[in-house]
């Protein structure tokens, strides 16, 4: 391997390590947020989904989260009781109900993330448009790889621990 190839290989390994560190940091941050809100991690995933994708019917949330509609209904009940979501009639479908964040939840999330979003914006200002496009492309491809991997792993039989 040439010195240039060695340098590139090390840079790729460093990026891989950094992505693993990012994943661990996001995981810890999600747990801290769930704890702060007094909800479980799956409840937090549901809340995140309705924030990012907008109001959703229970069946759609179940599909997105990989859960049964019954479990999402129970989760929604918990989030309603906590004051983070409410159910509203779907204006495009007479009998469907949508799960949507409450104004209280929007207020809480805005307060919690306002500084973080500003810091991220400031950090991104140092990159030109081509670099931002490359970062976006890499992250989008990473998301797609993880989604494909998750689908593949779900299709496999679970591994069982060895008998001792």
Give pLDDT tens digits along the chain (164 positions). Answer: 888 889 999 999 999 999 999 999 999 999 999 999 999 999 999 999 999 999 999 999 999 999 999 999 999 999 999 999 999 999 988 889 999 999 999 999 999 999 999 999 999 999 999 999 999 999 999 999 999 998 899 899 888 888 87
Under DSSP, is residue 93 helix (H, G, I), strand (E, B) or coil?
coil
> What beta strand segments (E) does 52-128 contain?
56-57, 85-89, 97-101
Q: What is the pTM of this model?
A: 0.85
Phi, psi of 53 (to 5 degrees): -105, -5
């Amino acid at each position: 391997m040439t010195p240039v190839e060695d340098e590139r290989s090390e840079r790729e390994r460093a990026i891989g390590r950094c992505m693993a560190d990012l994943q661990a940091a996001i995981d810890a941050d999600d747990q801290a947020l769930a704890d702060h809100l007094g909800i479980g991690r799956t409840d937090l995933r549901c809340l995140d989904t309705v924030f990012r994708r907008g109001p959703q019917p229970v069946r759609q949330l179940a599909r997105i989260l990989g859960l049964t509609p019954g479990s999402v209904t129970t989760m929604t009940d918990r989030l309603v009781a906590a004051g983070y979501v409410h159910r509203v009639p779907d204006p495009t479908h007479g009998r469907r109900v949508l799960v949507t964040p409450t104004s209280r939840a929007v207020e809480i999330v805005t307060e919690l993330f306002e500084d973080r979003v500003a810091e991220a914006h400031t950090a991104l200002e140092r990159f030109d448009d081509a670099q931002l496009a490359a970062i976006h492309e890499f992250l989008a491809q990473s998301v797609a790889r993880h989604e494909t991997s998750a689908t593949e792993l779900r299709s496999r039989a679970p591994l069982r621990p060895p008998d001792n």
